[in-house]
Amino acid sequence: MKRRTFIHTGSLFLASTGLANLLPLNAFSMGQGKADKIRIGVIGINGMGWSNLTALLKDPRAQCVALCDVDQNVLDRRVAELAKNNITVSTSNDYQKILENKHVDAVVIGTPDHWHCKIMVDALAAGKDVYVEKPAGNSIAECNEMVAAQQRYNKVVQVGQWQRSQKHFADAIAYVHSGKLGNVRLVKAWAYQGWMKAIPVASDTAVPTGVDYNKWLGPATMRPFNPNRFHFNFRWFWDYAGGLMTDWGVHMIDYALMGMKATTPKSIVATGGKFAYPDDASETPDTLTAIYEFNGFNLQWEQATGIDGGPYGRTHGVAFIGNNGTLVLNRQGWEVIPEKDGGKDKIEAVPLQKSVDNGLQLHTQNFLDVIQSRKLEDLKAPIQAGAHVANICQMGNIAYRTGKKIYWDASKGKFTDSTANKYLAAQYHNGYKMPKV
């Protein structure tokens, strides 16, 4: 396969469907009142892009008008699924065609991580509101550019950290903030994923029929096509993502930071490796412990694939460990386990408070609400919050990759170590220039 210049491709794209097409671009933000439908284009429709669209379409305000994916097989399958519900959409394998279309009000970005920044910045410049999957960016530099772009264009940007829209998560954080736990000196966050098995080594192959592999690679290093790096498993390769740390860490560490009202750590150290499956195809560690030093407390992250026996008997979660008790929180609910003093509980135990709602449904609803109201302060996961936790997770990965205890200089926005600073921006290729806003 010949090396090709990045992002200069195109294909025919036509807008679709009914009365919604009569609306001008982003009527919501042009002072023309609320429209009957918010017209959605989805870029990257195989995994979470499809889940996000499915949630959006449960709200009568949302109308899907366009899909984009570099895999025609995925596009055909999703078009057929929408057709079962009498939804007709236009399709393209070039995201720029979605952004050029004046009948698309907002886009969902469900691509691999290495595409998030470029597409989001381009979408904002084109006047679109954006729902971007987590992690926000694939590097600290990208996350910073994404925040700057939102500030420049003043559009709605919701990051797909949908737990922020759930009642039980908010209730748990309110309890932490109440002070009842006493002095919280240690916070643990973890993801133990027993269902994640080894990825067998596979040979490079020809690009599958219908896949525009150059578009899929985008800024990433040019490599022969390998099925292990494609679709879901892109998460385990440094070219495109950051492994479990950025896949699950952004969810769990997000709540650790919220509970402690924390900004950036003073130092980070991380150790781990491919201990579960040392000979499989993945690059990112399957086992990792990272310790972040903040003022007055430490945050400890743990991850392990192939194991379900996480702390407190939970496969994932956050634990706020205080002098009076420990609050344990995950997607199923939260509880408080008291400390003992002379055989008596220091505080009242709180039995498991179960999840009572659908986080993704509420999160996409919040996105639509803010598109209509233009009250950006009402977003549950604005790009500023998504970038913050993504940057913290990137710091953990950088500490692991350097093999050092590294120190963050908040005044300069970089590490004190030159080796660590080499990881501030992803090493992209193919003529890619990170967006400047």
Digit-coded pLDDT (tens) for 358-387: 999 999 999 999 999 999 999 999 999 999
**pLDDT of the residue at 431:** 54
| 239-275 residues labelled b (16+ CB within 10 A) or e (exposed) | bbbbbbbbbbbbbbbbbbbbbbebebbebbbbebebe
Digit-coded pLDDT (tens) for 231-256: 999 999 999 999 999 999 999 999 99
- 3 state SS of 99: helix
Digit-coded pLDDT (tens) for 50-92: 999 999 999 999 999 999 999 999 999 999 999 999 999 999 9
**pLDDT of the residue at 426:** 83
- How far is C-alpha 344 from the geometric centre of its chain's CA atoms? 42
User: Residues of the chain with pLDDT > 90: what percent?
Assistant: 89
Q: What is the DSSP string of 210-255?
A: TB-HHHHHTTSPP----GGGSGGGGGGSTTT--HHHHHTHHHHHHH
CA distance 299 to 297: 7
Digit-coded pLDDT (tens) for 387-403: 999 999 999 999 999 99
Tokens of 87: 């939804």
- How far is C-alpha 317 from the geometric centre of its chain's CA atoms? 17
Q: What angle do CA 282, 208, 210 make, to 5 degrees?
A: 130
Digit-coded pLDDT (tens) for 291-350: 999 999 999 999 999 999 999 999 999 999 999 999 999 999 999 999 999 999 999 999
E strand or H helix at 187? strand 184-193
**pLDDT of the residue at 433:** 61
Mean pLDDT over 286-295 rounds to: 98
Global pTM value: 0.90
CA distance 169 to 354: 10
Q: Strand 340-341 and strand 297-305: pairing?
A: unpaired
Name, in order, each residue with C-beta under 8 angstroms of 250's C-beta and a sequence gap of 6 or more.
134, 135, 161, 386, 389, 390, 393
Mean pLDDT over 184-197 rounds to: 96
CB 406 within 8 A of CB 397: no
